[in-house]
Amino acid sequence: MDGGVMGLTGERVAAIDKLFNARAVAVVGATPDLTKLGSSAIVAMHNLGYKGDIVAVNPKYQEIMGHPCVASIDDLPDHVEAAMLNVPADAAIEALEACGRRGIKAVVLVAQGFGEAGGKGIERDARVIAAARDYGMAITGPNTNGLANVKDGQALAIAPAFQFAGRVKGGNVAVISQSGAMVSTILSKMTPRGIGISKTVTCGNELILNVADYLAYMAADPDSDVIVLFLETVRDPQGLKDSLALCRAAGKPVIALKIGQSDSGQKAALSHTGAIAGSYRNTVAFLEREGVLVAETVETLAAVTELVMRQEWPLAEPAKPCIVSISGGFAALAADEMARCGLTLVDPSPAAAAELTALPTQSHPVNPYDIAAQNALIPTIIDIFRRDDFNQLIFGLALLKDDIRRGVTQMILDAKAAGFPQVYIASPEVDPAEKAEFQRHGITVSEDPRPLFQAMELLARWRGPRTEPTPHAPGAGSLPKGEGLLDEAASKSVIAGLGFRVPQSHVLKPDEGLEAFAGLQRPLVVKGLSDKIAHKSEHGLVALNLRSDADLEAAIGRVRANLATADPGADRLLVEEMMGGGLEAIVGVQRDPVLGPMIVVGAGGILVELLGDTAVLAPPFTKEELGAALDRTRFGKLLHGYRGQKPDREALIAAALAVGQIALDNPQLESLDINPLFVMEQGVCAVDAKIFLAAKDD
C-alpha cells in the first residue's frame, strides 16, 4: 500500500482523478438485465446525467441500454479512461491486467474473493498489486460498491441510492466509506436535509487506494467543501494524519462516524487503561486530536453535516442557546434532551427577564420560554433573547392551522434576517416545501431534536477546520532499560523520579522484621511485589489499614504465603504509609498498536473498568482540551467540588499532561497505570502504579 496520496507518483494521482472525471468509461460485465448488478453503473449514470461516453463490454451483446457493447477490453475505443470490472474474481484479474495493457489506469474492482477470503484470494491480491505497480494504476477495491461524481454524473457504482432518479442531489459534500452498503444509508439521511453530494467512494479492501488517498484527493477537489467519513478501521494512521492535515490547510471540515464502539478485542490483561480505551475510543481520540468531528450515529452524522453547511463554525462567542416554543410541553422536553446531550441553558439576564415579564403573557421569564399562544409577540420575544446575547435559537414549532402557521413561519424567517446568528426549527412535522424554504435561509429543520442537539454539542466544542493539533514539545522524562512488567516499587520509583508524589515506603526483604520500617507512620499497607502479577488483590497480595504490631506480623505472614503461591520467584514486600481522603482517579497510558499512545483520565479505584467514567485523549493535548474532556464526564463534575471538598483539579490535569509527555518521549512505554491517584485538596498522590515496558528495537 502506498500510504496516502502524498506518497503516490504524479501518474497515479492523475489516474485517481480519472476515477471521477473520465471522458469515456467502460463497464465490463455490463448487462441489460436490471435484476443484475451489471446493469447498475449504466442506470446510475443515466440517472445522474453523465455526459461522457459509456461503452459496455460483454461478448453477448452489441448494444446495451443505448450504448455500444464490445466483446473484450482489447476492442475498447482509445478514449476510454476508466473502467468498472463487474465480473467474478478470476475474470476480474484478467480484465484488470488487460486494462493495464490497454492504457486504462483508473479501475473499479467490484468482485469479492480477494484477501478477505484467504487462500487463493491472497494470490489474487498479489496480481492486483503487481498490475497497479507495473501500469501505474489507481484501483478502487476489490470488494467495493464503487464511486461516483454526482455533479458530472460519472458513477462507476452499484450503490442502490443511484438506482433512483433524483434520489441524490449534486452539491459540495464528499462521502468516503469503508462500508459499501452504508453509502446509500448515509445519502438517504442527507437528501431530506437538503444536503447535496459532490463525490462518493466505497473503499473496499483498500488494496491499492485507501481512505487517506481519497481524503487527500477530496482535500484538493474544488467541488468538495465538506468531507464525511464512515470508518471501520484505520489501516494507515500516518497517511490518514497527513491527509487530515491537508483538509485542515484547505479549511474543509471532516465529519466521521466510527463503528465498533462495543469492541472489546483490544482489552489488555495487564492494564486497566487498555481495558477502558480499546480500539473505538482510541480512534475517536486520534480523530478528535486531528480536528475531526466524530458523530455516534448516522442521524447525528447527517445533522452535523447540515449544521456545518448552514452556519458559520466555530462560533465567534461561546454557544448560548435559547428555546422559544409554541408548546410549553415541547419546551420542557427539549430542555431535558439538551441536558442529556451536554448542552446548558441559562436564564435571561435580569434586564431581559424584566422585558419578558412586562409582555402581556402568563409565561415565566425563563429559558426555555413558552409563548403561551401569544403568536403575535414572537418577534418581540425573539428580539429580547437576541439582544441578551443569545446566539442560538431553537424554535419549537407545533402543528398549527395553515393560515396561522404561515404567519409564524414568516416571523421566524424575519428573525433570521434581523441577525439572530443561528436559528433552528424543531417540529414533529414540516411540509417539504416549508422545510426547503427554511433551508434556503440557512435555518436547520429537525423532526427529531436529539440528533440536532448532539450535533450542536459537538460543534460547540469544535476547534474548527484550520486549527492545528497541539505540537509535541520533547520533555526530560525517561524510563529505565528492560522490558515487561515492573513491580509496584520499581514503577513508583520511576514515577517519583518524574515528579509524582508517592507514599513513604520500605521494601521489606525476607530477613527483615518490623524494625526495618519503624520510621513509617501508621496505619500501613503491606503488598506483595511481583513483576509477573498485575492485579495483586486478586491473589491476596494486599493488606490494608494495619496499625498494631500483631496485625502487621499477621499480614506480612499471610501476604508472603500468598506471594509464594502466586509467584514462587518473588520474596519482597512493599510496606507503605496508607493514604486517604482524596478523590480516587486513574491516569494511564495504553499504546495502541496502530494509533500510538492514548491517555486515560477519570474515575479510578477498584471499579474503574466497570464505571468507565473516563476521558481518552491522544497526546499531545492542552490543559484546556483535557479540562473540557473531563467536564463531559460525571467524574469531572466532582473535580469542581462536592460536599465541601474541592479536589485539586489543576494538579490532576498537570499529572495527565506529564504522563502524555512521558508516553510521547518513550516509545518503549507499553502501558502505565496510576490507579488510584488520589486527588487531594492540594496536589495528587500515586497510591498504586504499574509500568509495562516493550522490548526496544535494535
Average pLDDT in the 333-346 region? 94
Instruction: Tell me, yes or no, whether 570 and 592 share the same domain.
Output: no
* Alpha carbon 482 to chain centroid, angstroms: 35
C-alpha cell at 173: 459534500
CB atoms within 10 A of CB 336: 11
DSSP 644: T
One-letter amino acid at 620 equals P
Among residues of the chain, what percentage have pLDDT more than 70? 95
59's grid cell: 461478448
C-alpha cell recorded at residue 694:
516493550
pLDDT at 272: 41
pLDDT higher than threshold 80 for residue 22: yes
Answer yes or no: is 490 within a domain: no
Number of folded domains that form the chain? 4
Question: Cell 488510584, residue?
Answer: 676
pLDDT at residue 277, as a whole number: 41
Which residues have C-beta within 8 Å of that of residue 598, sequence separation ≥ 6?
Answer: 273, 277, 281, 282, 285, 589, 590, 591, 592, 616, 617, 618
Whether 375 and 335 map to the same domain: the answer is yes
Q: Within this chain, do residues 605 and 676 fall inside the same structural domain, yes or no? A: yes
CATH number, domain with residue 520: 3.30.1490.20
Instruction: Looking at the structure, tell me whether residues 450 and 558 fall in a common domain.
Output: no
- The number of beta carbons lying within 10 Å of the beta carbon of residue 362 is 9
Do both 66 and 180 map to the same domain? Answer: yes
Note whether 155 and 59 are same-domain residues: yes
Distance CA 610, CA 190 (A): 37
Torsion region of 124: left, alpha or beta (phi above 0 gives left; psi -120 to 50 gives alpha): alpha
Range of the domain at 190: 5-252
Whether residue 525 is contained in a domain is answered as yes
CATH number of the domain where residue 636 is located: 3.30.470.20
- Whether 572 and 625 map to the same domain: the answer is no
pLDDT beyond 90 at 480:
no
- 189 and 324 assigned to the same domain: no
**pLDDT tens-place string over residues 619-676:** 999 999 999 999 999 999 999 998 888 999 999 999 999 999 999 999 999 999 999 9
Q: What is the pLDDT of residues 237-278, one digit of tens each?
A: 999 999 999 999 999 999 999 987 654 433 333 344 444 445
Q: Is the pLDDT of residue 116 over 90?
A: no
Q: In Å, how far are 272, 326, 390, 420, 467 from 317, measured between CA atoms?
A: 39, 27, 10, 13, 17
Domain membership of residue 677 (yes or no) is yes
Which DSSP category does 100 fall into?
A: H
Residue 24 belongs to a domain: yes
Angle at 587 between CA 582 and CA 592, to 5 degrees: 165
Q: Which of 325, 318, 449 is nearest to 381 (CA)?
A: 325
pLDDT, tens digit (0-9, with 9 covering 90-100), for 213-245: 999 999 999 999 999 999 998 889 999 999 999
Out of 558, 577, 596, a domain closes at 577
Identify the CA nearest to 84 among candidates 50, 136, 41. Answer: 41
Rounded Cα gap, residues 546 and 543, in angstroms: 7
Grid coordinates of 365? 421569564
**The pLDDT of residue 264:** 41
